[in-house]
Structure 1
Amino acid sequence: MEASKVYFADFRTTLTENLQQKLWRLLDKAGMGTIDFDKKYAAIKMHFGEPGNLAFLRPNWAKTVADYVKAHGGKPFLTDCNTLYVGGRKNALDHLDSAYLNGFSPLSTGCHVIIGDGLKGTDEVYVPVEGGEYIKEAKIGTAVMDADVFISLSHFKGHENTGFGGALKNIGMGCGSRAGKMEMHNAGKPRVHEKRCVGCSMCTRVCAHGAITIADRKASIDHNKCVGCGRCIGMCPQDAIACDYDESNIVLNRKIAEYTKAVVDGRPCFHISLVLDVSPNCDCHAENDVPIVPNVGMFASFDPVALDQACADAVNAMPANPQSALFDEGAEHDHHDHFHAAHPETNWQSALEHAEKLGLGTRTYELVKI
């Protein structure tokens, strides 16, 4: 396969060009303006940051992308889907509160925020995955699939399960509904934490398949009846129902690649990754640790696979931050792969290998510096 072009700009500025203007120039050079945005709805998929985390992308970056879409006649909106875990973004109301708290509003970004899978994480579309080995139909947030154009705006950082979180992670995992996220993380069936359960029966009222029963003031789930819709997770007032995160990291990465294919197939797409504040863990954490490397720059491409590979290569080419987790006592630092050093049990290459196999893009790239 022919090498894909990945465009790069560093974070240096001048008296006549600030970072937002530089990002605009990068988008222009990378060809984002060739997309037909005229009167089209454009989903800008990003992470709004878990409250307490300060490494997420600032709203200013989102505004630049939204303004670019509007300047080309499009109708942009920022979007993300609800989380599977218990936190500040497990339903649309909490999710919007978190987004507003972290600065994402129409006033700061120039466009609206729409939670892709609705109030309780159950507004979903079943999307076929051509060539999928693990997923035949991906469960994607409805608003994400309703958009005419799809844009990913990713904060490139480490991740405790996938090695790093870049374009594929932002798209595949981020656009899955609650049931979709369960499908990627395990066999798609939740479980009950009995110590937290008070037997309130709220879960039984929303289960359409009679899979949940209450005995001795404790809920239990019959996995033979459960379809993995996730409604019980969103409904439980005690946060007593959760997913078993028991899928292997390699299979998880491959499922993320297949979900990404479901999201991007059949419509214009463009991908942007900002490699700054490269924390060792995901922005889903309610905290962020010291960056593992210095800030690198901004990347853009039509190819999400090449983009992730270029970002990973750029991070691994940087010196490790001696004040970061890479140098914790007992850590065995690998100077060739910072992500594997931070999380030795992960294999980030597995996502890119599978994505390339699916025809999502190529790991071979030409880096064009502007």
Structure 2
Amino acid sequence: MSKLVVLDGHHYPEGAYAEVEKLCKEKGVDFAVLDCNSPEEVVEKAQDADACLCIYVKLDDAVLSKLPKMKMVVRCGIGVDNLNLEDHTKNGIYACNVPDYGVEEVAIHALGDILALERKIVFYSSRVHAGVWSEDEGYTMRRVSLRKLGLLGYGRIARKLGEFAKVLGYTLLAYDPFLPDKFFEETGARKVDLDTLFRESDVMAVMAPATPETIHIVNDENLAKAKDGLFVVNTARGALIDTAAVLRALDSGKLAGIALDVLEEEPPKELCSQLFGRDNVVLSPHIAYRSLESFEALKRMAGETAVTFLTGGEPYNVVNREVIGKAKS
């Protein structure tokens, strides 16, 4: 009998994986929720596992090479920052994600952040709470139907955000060198290069994966190309933002405001704590994906990915596609 395990089950309450456990029972797959807080514990506890679900635990060759039965790792989320993809391929293990469990939630959160900046909602709320009743403070608000929204990355979430923003009248610009032109044509976004995105955007939504090419893509050099008064929203990965550069841009006025659901340091430490106390900075603790429904969908879809494979189906949502045809049998 094949076995599926959850490696870092302590991140969810007891019983959170009941639906996955039920699916495994129906399909004849053994199932267990493990509490692994270190690579050593993963090696110790997952020796008999054929596939696993994980959230934050880091998996590289030091771990994977010591799990002889492991054939598939499913990361419960979109990003796979904690999975060394080359090491998965080296060990013949499929690395998969769940790319579409919370598309609506993240897109709406990003839209909320954009409107919070455009309409100064957090800014004015803090003023009123402090006893200040005054209209004429801070940066000037503009009519959104005359504004350009730049989408840095144009995957599922960015396209959903664009769909919402078009209704409000935003003109869409999008940068994504990996997508064919048809994705832009079908959604009405103008495909641009990175320089044009920074130069023409009034608001920029950062929605790219964290890769060597995108780390610190919002930096001094690129921000220097932007109009004074740019807004930036990031619901992707904190590492895409050079926080020190952002602080300088906020001080100079190059950035009129920024909204961050993700930070370089989570939780914030010395660098990111310098964002605190600024009226034009909106922060949330990496929760853009959250809703009751998205959590349930995430666990169910991750479980289905693994169980389908373990019961003879074709693997899907494979991130390290180089492994296809070379995986363990």
TM-score, scaled relative to structure 2: 0.29
The answer to which structure has the higher helix fraction is 2
Larger RCO (CA within 8 A; separation ≥ 6): 1
**Which of these two proteins has the greater Rg computed from alpha carbons?**
2
The answer to which structure has the higher strand fraction is 1
TM-score, scaled relative to structure 1: 0.27
